[in-house]
A and B are shown apart, each in its own frame.
Chain A
């Protein structure tokens, strides 16, 4: 069952602009993760934020988590054409962390125009 919902479904921006993607989920979680998928390829893990964290940075990525609203956002700053990909949030249900089972959202397709 799909728990996460990303918003927007598609986003098109110019190179150099910032891109913000949002994810909402339904149940209590241990952590929330963001993955990236280039067209026709497998997913690549970007960043993990734990349920007791509010914000995390990794290079040009900034992730926030609001457990009271059951939502997260991924910000990519100073976007590049190479950032063009689909981005998925994935949650680990509370109590399921040892299994590694993730529930993925539908994804946001980001296009960065040069």
Chain B
């Protein structure tokens, strides 16, 4: 079974802090994704990575950056957290054979 893990289930940070959200997958998938999920807005793609050190902006990249130094790990970085970044963050890994995304359990981030 594919396993996607995220570093924290819940996180509370202060405005202006630098925040790292980590995602690890164990299936050697090339493509990985970061989404945020907000009530009434559904899932919105923040960033997408298609290989080590390769990334592409999604629909809402502003205020975020990403890092993919190793194939299994895709990190989302909030350089200076703001209250409007309070959200559920979901990481996913793509199985090309099954054309399916596998999601981590999510990180609920609160920025005070």
B106 lies within 8 A of A100 (CB): no
B48 lies within 8 A of A105 (CB): no
Which residues of A from 82 to 114 have beta carbons under 8 Å from B? 88, 90, 92, 97-102, 104-107
How far is A38 from B17 in the complex, measured between Cα atoms in Å? 30
A100 lies within 8 A of B59 (CB): no
Interface string of A55-84 (1 = CB under 8 A from B): 000000000000000000000000000000
Could you say which residues of chain A place their CB within 8 Å of the CB of B31?
Answer: 99-100
Q: What is the size category of the interface that chain A forms with chain B?
A: 20 to 34
Of B45, B90, B94, B96, the contact of A42 (CB 8 Å cutoff): B90
A97 lies within 8 A of B106 (CB): no
How far is A70 from B100 in the complex, measured between Cα atoms in Å? 20
Could you say which residues of chain B place their CB within 8 Å of the CB of A43?
Answer: 43, 90, 92, 101, 103
B102 lies within 8 A of A107 (CB): no
The winner among A31, A40, A92, A102 for most chain B CB atoms within 10 A is: A102
A42 lies within 8 A of B104 (CB): yes
A40 lies within 8 A of B94 (CB): no
Interface string of B1-36 (1 = CB under 8 A from A): 000100000000000000000000000000101000
B94 lies within 8 A of A100 (CB): yes
Could you say which residues of chain B place their CB within 8 Å of the CB of A22?
Answer: none
A41 lies within 8 A of B42 (CB): no
B105 lies within 8 A of A106 (CB): no
How far is A104 from B106 in the complex, measured between Cα atoms in Å? 16
A31 lies within 8 A of B99 (CB): yes
B90 lies within 8 A of A48 (CB): no
How far is A99 from B54 in the complex, measured between Cα atoms in Å? 13
Listed by A's residue number, 5 A-B pairs whose Cβ atoms lie within 8 Å are A1-B59, A41-B105, A43-B90, A48-B99, A104-B42
Interface residues of A (CB under 8 A from B): 1-2, 30-31, 33, 35, 40-45, 48, 88, 90, 92, 97-102, 104-107
13 further interface pairs, Cβ-Cβ under 8 Å (given A48-B98, A99-B31, A104-B43): A33-B100, A35-B103, A42-B4, A42-B92, A43-B43, A88-B43, A92-B99, A98-B96, A100-B31, A100-B33, A100-B99, A101-B48, A105-B42
